[in-house]
């Protein structure tokens, strides 16, 4: 009997100690989480009026870009908004004006970012209409489809990516279409508008959680990766472009005057046109969520932000105060953890830890959402890599006279001679086998 009592006592003490440790760890996590939070006056400062500000927003036809434009119109900003389709953009413009009783001066420019001529036209029109540009919101984005797996959403992803024609994967400049829309065209637009930027201008780059799945070797690959030949892996193009967004932000901070603020932000899961276009599986999930019914294949806490919330958070991130975090998130992604998996060499080693951790915290978005959070993005290597990345972006957007070709050649000789993207190695091996003479 005494032995049983002692056993129960030991169990109670152990249970208490375990609970105490759990409570302490939760308290520490909450304290760290709160320390990473950005709040009004302590991380960002949205003005009561933007009447004196001239703003260009890309990808404003729908979703987060549209909502952000509407909020800025309410604050009386003077804006140019852009999108690829005249009908959708015109409808969005009318809705913004109607919702805000024509409170702002807003005009539209139709531009398809697959075409550099359209980007040049947009830059010219923006300079003519706005003169000085106080804020660039680089929000436009596209993708070939999300990850393909056996889930209902994954099946729709497969149908989507298989529906693309081979020619739709490349632009007229023989570059990857997703990388061109999501990175190169924004790089080009920023370069063209540099002379028009106000001394205290703000450049806001919208990245995405896919950046943690991006492969730096594909970001700087010497030739276009033909995703049309490996369509089931084509979601990698989007991830690479989001990693390029982060690298662009870091490289840009080194090259603009100190008074210019560069913000990189990750909106997480949001009910935007880009997310909904991933297939009917996603669209159906959002419909179920509105009626309180959850898809069995998706965790109940993995709920996206309403597009209006996403737009409001993008507005807040746009007015981040100094010192600006490496990346601003709509959900908590602990910098203390992610700094340990930033190293870009982890990708070449096949280590998927960082993408798994990032996906886990993204799945917890509805629990940690509320304020914005300071965080870090995946590593872009050393300054030499960023310089190479910048020079390559210059080359691929037509700024050949500004490109340091000698430095690019030297960097590739030293650092990249053994880092050809795996996708290109597979294709080269396949071509070699096809070209080899058959034995009779």
Confirm if 80 and 109 have CB atoms less than 8 A apart. Answer: yes
Helix (H, G, I), strand (E, B) or coil at 197: strand
The dihedrals phi and psi of 175, each to the nearest 5 degrees, come to -115, 160
Helix (H) or strand (E) holding 265, with range, is strand 261-266
Domain count, the chain: 1
Strand partners, 357: none
Q: What is the pLDDT of residue 57?
A: 99
Residue 263 sits in a domain of what CATH number?
A: 3.40.50.720
Which residue(s) pair with 106 in the sheet? 79
Positions of the chain with pLDDT under 50? 276-301, 438-440
The pLDDT of residue 30? 60
Q: What is the CA radius of gyration of the chain?
A: 24
Closest alpha carbon to 372 in 410, 419, 325: 325
138 has which bridge partners?
205
Domain that holds residue 185: 37-430
Residue 28 forms part of a structural domain: no
Residue 388 in domain:
yes
> Is residue 438 one of the residues assigned to a domain?
no
Q: Is residue 109 part of a domain?
A: yes
Residue 12 domain-assigned?
A: no
Domain-embedded: residue 19: no
Q: What does the CA dihedral 189, 307, 236, 141 come to, rounded to 10 degrees?
A: -20
Q: Which neighbouring-strand residues pair with 261?
A: 202
In this structure, the number of other CB atoms found within 10 A of the CB of residue 313 comes to 26
Measured CA to CA, the distance from residue 319 to residue 305 in angstroms comes to 20
Asked, for residue 117, whether it belongs to a domain, the answer is: yes
Main-chain phi, psi angles of 129, to 5 degrees: -85, -35
The residue whose two tokens read 């949205």 is: 46
What is the pLDDT at residue 222?
A: 83
Q: 407 and 392 in contact (C-beta within 8 Å)?
A: no
Residue listed under structure tokens 């830059």: 123
Other C-beta atoms closer than 10 Å to the C-beta of 13 total 10
**pLDDT tens for residues 82-130?**
999 999 999 999 999 999 999 899 999 999 999 999 999 999 999 999 9
Query: Cis peptide leading into 323, omega within 30 of 0?
Result: yes
Cβ neighbourhood burial of 336 (10 Å; 0-12, 13-18, 19+): exposed
List the Cα angle 264/266/267 in 5-degree steps. Answer: 130
Residue 154 near residue 281 (C-beta atoms within 8 A): yes
Q: Can you tell me the distance from the alpha carbon of 82 to that of 86, in angstroms, rounded to the nearest whole number?
A: 9
* CA dist., res. 75 & res. 68, Å (int): 11
Three-state secondary structure string covering 21-35? HHHHHHHHHHHHHHH
Q: Is there a domain that residue 7 lies in?
A: no
């Amino acid at each position: 009997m005494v032995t049983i009592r002692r056993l129960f006592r030991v169990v109670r003490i152990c249970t208490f100690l375990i609970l105490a440790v759990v409570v302490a760890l939760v308290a520490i996590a909450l304290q760290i989480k709160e320390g990473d939070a950005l709040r009004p006056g302590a991380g960002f400062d949205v003005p009561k009026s933007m009447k004196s500000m001239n703003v260009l927003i890309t990808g404003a036809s729908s979703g987060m870009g549209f909502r952000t434009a509407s909020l800025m119109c309410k604050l009386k900003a003077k804006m140019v908004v852009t999108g690829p389709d005249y009908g959708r953009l015109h409808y969005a413009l009318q809705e913004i004006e109607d919702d805000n009783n024509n409170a702002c001066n807003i005009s539209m420019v139709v531009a398809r970012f697959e075409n550099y001529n359209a980007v040049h036209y947009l830059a010219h029109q923006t300079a003519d209409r706005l003169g000085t540009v106080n804020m660039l919101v680089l929000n436009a984005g596209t993708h070939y489809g999300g990850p393909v797996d056996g889930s209902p959403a994954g099946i729709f992803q497969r149908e989507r990516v298989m529906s693309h024609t081979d020619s739709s994967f490349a632009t007229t400049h023989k570059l990857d279409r997703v990388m061109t829309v999501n990175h190169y065209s924004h790089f080009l637009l920023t370069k063209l508008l540099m002379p028009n930027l106000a001394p205290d201008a703000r450049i806001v780059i919208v990245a995405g959680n896919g950046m943690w799945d991006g492969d730096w070797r594909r970001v700087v690959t010497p030739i276009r990766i033909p995703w049309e030949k490996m369509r089931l892996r084509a979601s990698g193009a989007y991830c690479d472009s989001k990693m390029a967004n982060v690298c662009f932000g870091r490289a840009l901070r080194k090259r603009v005057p100190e008074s210019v603020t560069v913000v990189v932000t990750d909106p997480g899961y949001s009910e935007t046109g880009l997310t909904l276009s991933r297939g009917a599986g996603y669209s159906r999930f959002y419909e179920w969520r509105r009626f309180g019914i959850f898809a069995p294949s998706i965790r109940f806490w993995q709920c996206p932000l309403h597009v209006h919330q996403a737009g409001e958070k993008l507005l807040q991130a746009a007015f981040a105060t100094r010192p600006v975090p490496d990346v601003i998130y709509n959900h908590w992604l602990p910098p203390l953890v992610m700094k340990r998996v930033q190293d870009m060499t982890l990708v070449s080693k096949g280590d998927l830890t960082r993408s798994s951790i990032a996906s886990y915290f993204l799945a917890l978005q509805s629990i940690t959402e509320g304020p914005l959070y300071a965080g870090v993005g995946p590593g872009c290597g050393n300054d030499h890599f960023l310089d190479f990345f910048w020079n390559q972006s210059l080359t691929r957007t037509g700024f050949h006279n500004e490109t340091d070709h000698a430095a690019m050649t030297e960097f590739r000789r030293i650092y990249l001679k053994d880092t050809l993207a795996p996708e290109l190695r597979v294709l080269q091996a396949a071509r070699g086998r096809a070209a080899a003479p058959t034995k009779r």
